Amino acid sequence: MIQIKNLSFGYRKKKLLYNSLSLNLAPGSIIGLLGKNGAGKSTLLKNMTGLLFPKKGHISVNGFIPKKRQPSFLKTIYMVPEEVHVPGLTIKRYQSLFSPFYPNFDKDQFIAYLDQLDVRDQGSLNTFSFGQQKKFIIAFALACNTEILLLDEPTNGLDIPSKAKFRKLISSIFDQGKTIFISTHQIRDLDNLIDRVIIVDNGEILLNASITEISEKLCFKTAGQFSTDENILYAEQHLKGFSIVGVNKDREDSKVNLEHLFNAITENPIKVKEIFA
C-alpha cells in the first residue's frame, strides 16, 4: 500500500512543485505515471523511495516512512532512474556486490532477463552503450523481485525491438503482489501494458483511474468529420478524419488511446474531474 497525504514539495521555498497532493494505491497494478516534462514525475518517485523529502505531508510505503531509508524498507523497493550510471565492474562482479541487498534476488532469472534483452557480457559495464547499460539495469531490477518497482523513463535509449522485449518482460513478471510504476512521456510505449493511469500536471493529480474505469467513462473513436459537441473533450485530425475522445454517454466499448487520453485530460482538467468524481 502506498499512501501519500497532503504532500508538498519544492526545490525553492516560494515555488512548490506539489502542494497538498494525496494518493492511495493498493498493490497489484502496473501504473502509468504520465505528465509533461517538468511536471514532477521523477520527483514523486524519488519522494516514494526517500531520495527526496516532502516539505510537508506524509508518505507511507508498505508501512515504512521512505525518508528513514531503513534496510527493511529498501529491500522491498527498487528504482531504475532515467539516467543510469554503472560502475567499472563486470556483470558477475556487480551481481555479487549488490544482489545480497535484495533477499528475493534470483540469479537464474537475472541470466534469463539479460538473454531476453540481448545483453552480452562484454567486460566492464561502463564500456557498454547507454542502451545496453539501461537494459542491464532493468534486468537486474526485475531479478531483485521487490514488491515495488519504479521505472523512470525506462524505454529511453532502447531501440524498437528492445522496447517490445521490455513490455513482454514486464507483463511476464507481474503478479498481484507487485506494484510497478512506469513514469514516461513516451506514452505509446505503454500501450497494452498498464492497468492504471495517473496523470500529473501543475502540481496536482488530474486523473487516477484504472483502464477499465476510463473506458467506461470515456469513448475513443474515429470520425470522418468533426462536429462541435459539448461531450467531446479532444479531437485530433489525421489523414482519414478525426480521432476523438468524448464522454461515454452511450456506454460504447472502445480501446483507450493513452496519448489522446493525456491530451484530453490536460486540456479539460475541470471537466474531467467532474466526470471521474
Q: Which of 24-33, 132-141, 247-256 is modeled with the greatest confidence?
A: 132-141
Candidates 219, 233, 226; CA nearest to 264 is 233
Predicted pLDDT of residue 201: 85
Q: Assess contact for 258 and 32: CB atoms under 8 A.
A: yes
Report CA-CA distances (Å) from 174 to 72, 115, 210, 259, 261: 22, 19, 16, 24, 24
CB neighbour burial string for 92-113, b if at least 16 within 10 angstroms, e if fewer: eebbeeebeebeebeeebbeeb
Torsion sign, CA atoms 142, 120, 125, 83: negative
pLDDT bracket for residue 15 (50, 70, 90): low
CATH level 3 topology of 2-202: Rossmann fold (3.40.50)
Which pTM was predicted? 0.90
Distance CA 47, CA 68 (A): 11
Q: Does position 203 have pLDDT exceeding 90, yes or no?
A: no
Beta strand 179-184 pairing with 148-152: parallel
CATH code 3.40.50.300 region(s) in the chain: 2-202
Cell representation of residue 118: 540481448
